[in-house]
């Protein structure tokens, strides 16, 4: 209120006067902020934004005006909020531009969520290529590439990368046993993009060799990405890199440490302070600066296949990235996948492998009952689950150190049958299969957990039971009775051991759960090989050989391995000769004759029958495409189509599926699940 000339001005108390001044300052700041928000930046006033929306018809960039207040922070790779469709939507700025093709006034960016650029241009482009390759939406791929924000972690500084004391030429000595590795390393140090498929020999210390590769790239000023199947493999390579290069040169990206720790390591890479990344699936998208090398180890492990849309495989992501950023690429493992063999067949990559003489020196691998002498010593070798030859091998190994017994199933006695007539034992309550969970527990149903202590066979009336399929617990129990003075250790399920000492002991483990023995195992025995080959899968022989090779890969130099099975089976012969390359060649030829991947490209479409009919009407498939089905699935409400094209038409198939998805999304039709090149059919 303004005083009249006849009235003196009111003297406000000090506290009130301060509050009035504070209110006026806040109002002025609010007016200034609104002016800044309304005023558009003069330099590059347009932000190209990709939205975090899993809708195929919105999978493109949208232009927004950049307010003056956000002009410095809203750079490529930063997170923003925008107004879209009447609601606030998250997104990323992928570029700034001076002009737009949009007619009319651009809506301004609503908020700069973070000024931290976490989506690099190279990774943004990779996400688009992966989405196109798998007929998906790039927003789904970006969720795999960029971890959720952890605001307090962004405020923490990243320590600078220490000076590297590693001599890049040390890698030549480490890889000396592999003649073809020398030119690969030379090209890597010179900044060229060599590509190779590496078949590791038995007992190879693969974490050390991969650490030398990454060290050689870093010494040449280039970064590396090394992807492994699980956290146990990541821990082994993490330890090898630390021992070789020291602290502060690499990060391990996986989910186990928690969101804050993972985001902290991710920021170290995005800020350019760490240039070696070790991790599982999401590490393939790490924003490594000056990337010079990508590696995938054990690419046949199904853990490399992403279970979320658009279901990319790590190997394919890294190969796309190698082409996009012109980096060196290495696909390695003890076994060789058909896809890796295809890279050699097409000339895309070169082979790195041990000479045959060196393979024979590494380990002695055999199959029980493979010779007349072995059958004379033990006539039941072909029928016994643990024949005398296996016991002799374990006894020989225990005199020299720990031994490993691999069995394909966890548990005790997983299935039971009548001892007399072999009829499967069933629960009287629900007809589910009976099992034993321990040596002293009564039979119980695997479905409803009803115990059946007084079971009798419905066919012959016998009360005795046998176990045609046993697990690691029963195997450990039996071996404990056979070797009463030796410690027996199990590793399976949720009780997986990472390492064991060099002391003599028997380790019983399921595939993938084998602990690493200090100094290596003296003997590795592979049981129930018939079960691994009996899986209903196109990849059953390939997967069986991979599991066996990974177990034999843990043997010490000069150790032994014995597989219990039919010596005439080709995949066991490939194991005995350590001829994973020859096996992959034969598998690839059979796949070509059957027109199966990788000779052909395949996509599966799963959904309700009406939705599949709608999709087929919208699909513009290549002329050579085959449509197989639809066929029923385990879900009675869903059916599945299989689309098959020659490999040369794979890109056209993915684009046709992507375009159909965009049309269906725009029309809000019932969704379907599309998988391009699924890991299993």
Q: Which residues are annotated as a binding site for Zn(2+)?
A: 418, 421, 427, 430, 445, 448, 457, 460
- Rounded CA-CA distance 134/650 in Å is 10
- Contacts of residue 462, defined as CB under 8 A and 6 or more positions apart, other chains included, come to 418, 419, 420, 421, 456
Residues 643/627, Cβ–Cβ less than 8 Å:
yes
Find out whether 87 and 81 touch, Cβ atoms under 8 Å.
no
CA distance 342 to 329: 15
Residue 504 gets which letter from DSSP? -
Is there a contact between 304 and 315 (Cβ–Cβ < 8 Å)?
Answer: yes
Residues in binding site: 418, 421, 427, 430, 445, 448, 457, 460
User: E-strand spans in 411-486?
Assistant: 413-418, 434-435, 444-445, 465-470
Question: Which are the contacts of 79, defined by CB distance < 8 A and separation ≥ 6?
Answer: 90, 91, 92, 112, 113, 114, 116, 118, 149
The first and second tokens of residue 399, run together, are 């005199």
How far from each other are the two terminal CA atoms of the chain, in whole angstroms? 81
Q: Which helix (H) or strand (E) holds 561?
A: strand 555-563
Give 95-143 as a 3 state SS string: EEECCCCCCCCCCECCEEEECCCCCCHHHHHHHHHHHHHCCCCHHHHHH
- What Cα–Cα distance (Å) separates residue 214 from each residue in 4, 141, 171, 174? 82, 26, 9, 12
What is the rounded CA–CA span in Å between residue 652 and residue 638?
26
Burial of 360: CB neighbours in 10 Å, binned 0-12, 13-18, 19+? middle
Collapse the DSSP code of 30 into the 3-class scheme (helix H, G, I; strand E, B; otherwise coil) and give the result.
helix
Q: What residue has token string 């890796």? A: 340
**What is the C-alpha to C-alpha distance for residues 275 and 297, in angstroms, rounded to an integer?**
19
- Whether the Cβ atoms of residue 511 and residue 491 lie closer than 8 Å to each other: no
Q: Which two tokens stand for residue 305?
A: 């296949």
Give the Å distances, CA to CA, from 130 to 134, 634, 649: 6, 29, 17
CB count in 10 Å sphere of residue 253: 26
Nearest to 611 by CA among 544, 669, 527, 534: 669
Q: Which residues of 413-427 are buried (b: 16+ CB within 10 A; e: fewer)?
A: bbbbbbeeeeeebbb
């Amino acid at each position: 209120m303004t005083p009249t000339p006849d009235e003196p001005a009111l003297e406000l108390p000090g506290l009130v006067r301060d509050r009035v001044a504070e209110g006026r300052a806040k109002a002025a700041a609010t007016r200034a902020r609104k002016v800044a928000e309304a005023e558009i930046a003069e330099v590059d006033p347009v932000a190209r934004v990709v939205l975090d929306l899993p809708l195929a018809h919105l999978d493109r960039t949208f232009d927004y005006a950049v307010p003056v207040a956000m002009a410095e922070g809203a750079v490529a790779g930063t997170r923003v909020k925008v107004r879209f469709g009447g609601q606030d939507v998250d997104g990323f700025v992928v570029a700034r531009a001076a002009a737009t093709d949009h007619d009319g006034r651009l809506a301004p960016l609503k908020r700069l969520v973070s000024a931290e650029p976490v989506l690099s241009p190279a990774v943004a482009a990779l996400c688009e290529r992966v989405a196109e390759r798998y007929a998906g939406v790039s927003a789904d791929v970006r969720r795999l590439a960029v971890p959720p924000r952890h605001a307090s972690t962004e405020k923490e500084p990243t320590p600078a990368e220490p000076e590297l004391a590693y001599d890049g030429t040390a890698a030549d000595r480490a890889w000396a046993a592999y003649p073809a590795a020398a030119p690969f390393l030379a090209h890597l140090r010179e900044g060229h993009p060599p590509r190779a498929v590496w078949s590791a020999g038995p007992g190879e210390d693969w974490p050390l060799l991969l650490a030398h590769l990454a060290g050689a790239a870093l010494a040449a000023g280039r970064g590396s990405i090394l992807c492994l199947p699980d956290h146990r493999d990541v821990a082994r390579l993490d330890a090898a890199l630390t021992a070789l290069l020291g602290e502060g040169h690499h990060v391990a990206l996986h989910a186990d440490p928690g969101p804050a720790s993972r985001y902290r390591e991710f920021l170290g890479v995005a800020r350019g302070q760490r240039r070696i990344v070790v991790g599982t699936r999401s590490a393939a998208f790490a924003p490594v600066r000056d990337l010079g090398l990508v590696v995938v180890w054990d690419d046949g492990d199904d853990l490399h296949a992403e279970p979320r849309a658009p279901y990319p495989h790590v190997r394919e992501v890294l190969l796309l990235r190698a082409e996009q950023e012109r980096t060196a690429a290495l696909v390695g493992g003890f076994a060789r996948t058909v896809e890796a063999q295809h890279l050699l067949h097409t000339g895309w990559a070169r082979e790195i492998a041990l000479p045959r003489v060196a393979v024979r020196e590494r380990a002695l691998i055999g199959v029980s009952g493979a010779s007349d002498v072995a059958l004379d010593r033990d006539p039941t070798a072909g029928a016994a689950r643990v024949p005398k030859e296996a016991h002799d091998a374990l006894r020989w190994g225990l005199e020299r150190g720990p031994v490993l017994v691999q069995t394909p199933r966890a548990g005790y006695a997983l299935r039971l049958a009548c001892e007399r007539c072999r009829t499967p034992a069933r629960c009287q309550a629900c007809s589910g299969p009976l099992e034993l969970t321990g040596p002293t527990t009564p039979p119980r149903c695997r479905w409803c957990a009803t115990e059946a202590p007084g079971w009798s066979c419905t066919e012959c009336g016998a009360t005795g039971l046998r176990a045609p399929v046993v697990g690691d617990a029963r195997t450990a129990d039996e071996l404990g009775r056979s070797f009463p003075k030796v410690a027996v250790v199990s590793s399976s399920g949720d009780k997986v051991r990472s390492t064991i000492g060099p002391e003599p002991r028997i380790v019983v483990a399921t595939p993938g759960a084998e602990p690493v023995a200090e100094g290596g195992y003296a003997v590795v025995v592979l049981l129930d090989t018939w079960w691994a080959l009996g899986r209903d899968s196109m990849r059953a022989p390939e997967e069986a050989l991979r599991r066996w090779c990974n177990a034999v890969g843990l043997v010490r130099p000069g150790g032994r391995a014995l597989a219990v099975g039919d010596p005439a089976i080709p995949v066991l012969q490939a194991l005995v000769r350590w001829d994973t390359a020859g096996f992959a060649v034969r598998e690839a030829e059979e796949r070509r004759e059957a027109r199966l991947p990788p000779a052909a490209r395949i996509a599966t479409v799963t959904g309700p029958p009406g939705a599949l009919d709608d999709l087929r009407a919208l699909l513009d498939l290549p002329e050579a495409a085959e449509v197989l089905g639809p066929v029923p699935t385990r879900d009675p409400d869903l059916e599945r189509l299989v689309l098959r094209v020659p490999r040369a038409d794979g890109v056209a198939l993915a684009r046709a599926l992507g375009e159909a998805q965009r049309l269906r999304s725009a029309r809000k039709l019932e969704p379907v699940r599309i998988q391009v090149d699924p890991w299993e059919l």
